[in-house]
Chains A and B, each alone.
Chain A
């Protein structure tokens, strides 16, 4: 029988992975932002407080710019070592050096306050800007790819430095009445891969090696202003139900 590794406060790694599913953060009278409920255990003296706590006003002003996600995030403060994990997903830490990275909001577990969290223009994503370390979860190990490339929406974890994430539709499968029926009903066969995200330019794209998504976080809605993508949509509200025979939203986008 192999003897399992037993960790104590001395042997736990500092700001590194304990195993592929667990990450250990060392706090030395410092603060970290972490997503609610991702702490599984800690040694030492650590307090967890909601973002709205008055003492954090300065911290939040400099490194948290996403009021929509405020209720999902807490500040860990104190000294000790804490373990982070999420539903037995793989966790990895990444270092940003004066860089930027955009990531699906549910996949980001924790980050150092030297980074600033901002809500991305792309709904459901957040952007980290600055220098520091953050911890992200993915279903299966993360794969790094270089643009230009097209990725499956469910496999996308995030991207760094890429200036132009956009949607790509395989046009041939979508046009015409037959294409509409096909994409709507699946009759005639769809591969399920007609829609991708496309990245061009210099940068890195992070993919997970499965198409299982993290549970969507309830993020509320962005301000209802002209020009704000997603503004004015009530998520989940979903507009009028689609009638049978009505062509999908895709057709409208193609002007059909």
Chain B
């Protein structure tokens, strides 16, 4: 059972079951816990090879035991996501913890990743359970419906879920090349039905400066 202790610490109550968390993110626990590094994020040999190849690397540990375990990472804000058989797409660096029952994997995101500096691949989490994702500053959840597509700055994007198509949108014109760019030349356009998480801060991206 995931709950937030303040906005920057995740408390997980464990009763013999397990949770997968970012390696080294435990800050405290009470009860009895065992920590086991999961090579390849528990995705097996194939997952390990995929992650190595795609650069979407994540080091994961499995925590199991009885009691409460607390996780935090660099004072990032933590957001809980409940999954009911749907799929969450999240950058590996923003994923803090998932229920042990959730499957994680890697997927190709298309051109978007190239400009956002996050690589061309992203991590997927699917199944039924809870996941905790991190953001720099409290994340804002935005709903996307067919009538209302959403444009997001690649540096502020952290995760999305639901049935969304993403397109990479570039507004580069001759002004950009002359150094008169708008600073918002690259955007990800989300269409369909779902939720997008954005953080109130921009990572340094290749596209951010043009």
Contact = CB atoms under 8 A, between A and B. Distances in A.
Contact of A42 (B136, B143, B151): B151
A41 B138 contact: no
A38 B146 CA distance: 26
Interface in A1-45: 1-2, 4-9, 18-22, 36-37, 39-44
Interface stretch (B50-58, B87-95, B120-128, B191-199): B191-199
B79 A74 contact: no
Contacts of B184: 36-37, 39, 48, 74
B32 to A, nearest CB: 24
Given A40-B156, A85-B137, A50 B180 contact: yes
B141 A5 contact: yes
A8 B143 contact: yes
B26 interface: no
Interface in B120-158: 130, 136-138, 140-143, 145, 148-153, 155-156
Contacts of A71: 179-180
A121 interface: no
A20 to B, nearest CB: 7
A53 interface: yes
Contacts of B153: 37, 39-41
Contacts of A53: 175, 180
B39 interface: no
A106 to B, nearest CB: 14
With a 10 A CB-CB cut-off, give which of A6, A8, A37, A52 has the most chain B CB atoms: A37
Interface residues of B, number: 40
Contact of B198 (A8, A9, A83, A86): A83
Contact of B183 (A8, A37, A52, A91): A37
Interface string A179-223: 000000000000000000000000000000000000000000000
A74 B137 contact: no
A68 to B, nearest CB: 15
B141 A7 contact: yes
Interface residues on A, range: 35 or more
B140 A22 contact: yes
A6 B198 CA distance: 12
A48 B181 CA distance: 9
Contacts of A50: 175, 180-182
Contacts of A43: 142, 148-151
B82 interface: yes
A88 B136 contact: yes
A83 B182 contact: no
A87 interface: yes
Given A6-B143, A40-B153, A88-B200, A1 B2 contact: yes
A49 interface: yes
A1 B130 contact: yes
Contacts of B183: 36-37, 48, 74
A83 B82 contact: no
Contacts of B2: 1
Given A9-B148, A85-B156, A41 B200 contact: no
A71 B178 CA distance: 11
Contacts of A39: 153, 184
Interface in A216-239: none
A21 B179 contact: no
Closest A-B pairs by Cβ, 8 of them: A88-B137, A36-B183, A85-B200, A40-B156, A21-B200, A48-B182, A8-B143, A21-B137
Interface of A: 1-2, 4-9, 18-22, 36-37, 39-44, 46-50, 52-53, 71, 74, 83, 85-88, 91
Interface of B: 2-4, 79-80, 82, 130, 136-138, 140-143, 145, 148-153, 155-156, 171, 175, 179-184, 195-196, 198-202, 208-209
Given A1-B2, A40-B200, A41-B140, 4 more contacts: A1-B3, A40-B202, A46-B151, A74-B183
